[in-house]
């Protein structure tokens, strides 16, 4: 017997699942179109950040969207900075430390942009963390007298630390 009172059937669940996936893809593409339009208006409108700000504020109202990633994507593609505006809300202003209205044409969508950045950083970071943990285990084994060849263990520690210095 189900724990929760179910309002839908199994068939309705699968229909709903397909609908959610479809709407999710459409939503991501719609946000990309809004960003592209905002970037275009920024360049052709002599620094008009209104559409970029409206896009950011729209995404902030939908809790399921990664607003921070969208904000960083926009900042990476044009010379704007995110800050509180006169109305007290978060929005974009032109970064005046850079001359002109600079826009870099996006090569990837906002949802692939963040994944690309993470995919490049994570393996290296994970390896560094694992190697530091290995050094800690070696030192603990030496300290507690569980190491048969202390000289070899110290050479391994030195080698791992040398690699860490070159990577970091």
136 with 149, same domain: the answer is yes
Q: Is the pLDDT score of 38 beyond 70?
A: yes
- Residue 10 is predicted with a pLDDT of 83
Domain of 65?
1-105
Phi, psi dihedrals of residue 83, rounded to the nearest 5°: -160, 170
140 with 118, same domain: the answer is yes
Taking the C-alpha atoms of residue 92 and residue 74, their distance in angstroms, rounded to an integer, is 9
143 with 157, same domain: the answer is yes
Dihedral angle of Cα 37, 43, 44, 47, to the nearest 10 degrees: 100
The count of domains in the chain is 2
85 with 114, same domain: the answer is no
pLDDT band per the 50, 70, 90 thresholds, residue 153:
confident
Are 100 and 64 in contact by the 8 Å Cβ rule? The answer is: no
52 with 124, same domain: the answer is no
pLDDT band per the 50, 70, 90 thresholds, residue 68:
very high
Q: Does the CA dihedral 57-59-63-68 come out positive or negative?
A: negative
16 with 67, same domain: the answer is yes
Rg (CA), the chain: 25
140 with 159, same domain: the answer is yes
Please give the average per-residue pLDDT across 117-141, as a whole number: 69
Taking the C-alpha atoms of residue 59 and residue 61, their distance in angstroms, rounded to an integer, is 5
pTM across the whole model: 0.63
- Residue 126 is predicted with a pLDDT of 64
């Amino acid at each position: 017997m189900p724990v929760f009172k179910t309002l839908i059937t199994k068939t309705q669940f699968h229909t709903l699942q397909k609908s959610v996936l479809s709407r999710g893809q459409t939503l991501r593409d719609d946000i990309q179109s809004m960003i592209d339009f905002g970037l275009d208006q920024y360049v052709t409108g002599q620094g008009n950040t209104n559409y970029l700000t409206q896009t950011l504020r729209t995404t902030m109202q939908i809790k399921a969207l990664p607003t921070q990633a969208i904000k960083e994507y926009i900042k990476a593609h044009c010379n704007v900075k995110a800050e509180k505006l006169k109305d007290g809300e978060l929005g974009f202003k032109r970064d005046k430390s850079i001359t002109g209205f600079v826009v870099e044409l996006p090569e990837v969508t906002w949802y692939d942009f963040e994944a690309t950045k993470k995919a490049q950083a994570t393996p290296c970071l994970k390896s560094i963390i694992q190697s530091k943990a290995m050094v800690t285990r070696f030192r603990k084994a030496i300290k507690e007298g569980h190491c048969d060849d202390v000289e070899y263990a110290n050479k391994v520690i030195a080698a791992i630390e040398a690699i860490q210095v070159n990577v970091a």
